[in-house]
Structure 1
Amino acid sequence: MRTSPVPASPCLQQTARLSDLLSLGPVVLDGAMGTELDSRGVDTRHALWSALALTAAPETVRAVHSDYLDAGARVVTTNTYQATLPALLRAGHDAAAAREIIAAGVRLADEAARRFEAKHPETQVLIAGGLGPYGAYLADGSEYTGAYDVGIPEDSGFREVHRPRIEVLAEEGVDLFALETIPRLDEAQALVAMVKDLTPQAECWVSFQVRSDGAHLAGGHPLAEAAGWAEGEETVVAVGVNCVAPDVVGRALPVLRAATAKPLVAYPNAGDLYDPVTKTWQSAGEGIGIPELAPSWIAAGARLVGGCCRTRPAQIRELAHAVCP
């Protein structure tokens, strides 16, 4: 039996802009959602991954957002990375219910932000609408390879994965979008075009999935060319990488900085390895952690820093202390 999504709340009202915050210095992002859900007994081994919790455990999603805010994050990303209309229809929801589930991702983040701001009225929290790649919808690990055809503009299936989610997030008042783990330049370009079409006033950041050399997108395109494209896109206020091993960040940031003057983004995973068959992570052993490496990323131009898969509130707390002492 499915539980219902959280009830509607007033539309999200964000008074600050990410570009304004970035002009003041480094901004701390949150960390992994799926990892925290797993640790709290919510099963994510499903094609919907963490998005399953939007109906199965909404209070836990809200609590994870709150814990990251308490740890020092000042931007929280909605739990909608894998919440797409086709995926929710495939899971047995009708179209209206599917759109409500995506909307719940905004409402839960908004509730956590409102509670935090009530306790800390001097602090502004931003909510970013999480947009995962087409590979996340496929649920086969291809966001780490880019091994799929976007087929723009012919493939309406690609648009049906992305466009309705952007529509719902915009209807809920989101005007900041996180384009995450994007392995292909053509997909990033198509997503930004959709955001601009649906919410012309919006800002976004684009974070790419890159190969271990830090110089090529997972799909093979040169990272420098992707950064050069972002430099010319007014809607894109920051560009970088996410869900790569921490050591890859140090190789990617100089490539990005050589191609763009925009603020850079870095939120790696913990360095572990993902198995798309079992939908589990395997430890890759101990390495230098995100909080220890973050000051060097700031020196290289990173202004949005956080964590991705397998990172937790404790690491975000250490990160916040390291970059915003």
Structure 2
Amino acid sequence: MKSHQQQQHHHHHQKGATSLFPKWHVINTFSYFFLFACGVAAGVFLNSYLKNVSFDLHLTKFSISPSPSPPTTSATHNNTTAAAAVGGGCENRQEKIVVEVPVPVLPPPPPPAGRVGLSEYLKVAAEAMHDMEEEELLWRASMVAKVKEYPFPRVPKVAFLFLTKGPMLMAPMWELFFKGNQGLYSIYIHSSPSYVASPDESPLFRARRIPSQGKFNMVEAERRLLANALLDVANQRFVLLSEACIPLFNFSTVYDYLINSNQSFLGSIDDPHPMGRGRYNKRMQPELTLADWRKGSQWFEVHRRVAVQMVSDIKYYPILTKHCKPPTVLHG
């Protein structure tokens, strides 16, 4: 009896399970089909929408605007309509985004610059005038390169230093002397501080006056002329002249003789008279003794190495300035 009931219960359970599985199978199949249909509809909709959108890129404007829809077949139209219905009634919308980008105005490129070598860097200005103080000028002029050989082609020049009270009286003669020899000479003029150059002054000398402040004695004026001439590394020989001097030989003769000479030309004598030993002061000892005392000519011609020593002296010049009486003053 009990086994019969168990068999009936087991048979009833199998029947219920058999009837349940087909229902779940139908529901799952319908769900898969529905999801597949939605995916196809969404894909067709997106494909149709993207075909109607164009991207235009310009230099100053960025725009996104839908282009006119190309002709479509009825199948495509139906699919688009179906996709719109599935997507909740979405409609194709035309959008346009414009972004203004300013175009910068660039300056024209600079012309290609040539190489500035040492020779160009060391070139002096066309005008001799500057605003350096006495200490600055002497310091700059006393600089000497340890390497003797120049790293660029150098044409040695003769510097003509004119110590004058006023105008260049012999200017026409000097113009003939220098004519045709540009690049082989330099001119520097130190005149009385009270002198004002005439506008009609010769162009050869107009821009060659060096600065002069206050009243300088003759030695200071000579040192300042030498220092200004030493700023040009091409100057090899230095000739001190007055406005009354004239050349006795042509330029080529003077140039060749001085450039090829290894000597400097200075006048120095032991003068026992008041203008010689009479100007010696015992307070100059021990740096300067009477045996060392000499009277020299104010006009000279020296080599560059001697000129550097003359402007670099800080031992004897202060003693002479303080104790040598009476000083020779360059009056206006």
Name the TM-score class by shorter chain: under 0.3
Considering Cα pairs closer than 8 Å and 6+ residues apart, tell me whether 1 or 2 has the greater RCO.
1
Which structure is larger by alpha-carbon Rg, 1 or 2? 2
More helix by share: 1
The alignment's TM-score, normalised by the length of structure 1, stands at: 0.23
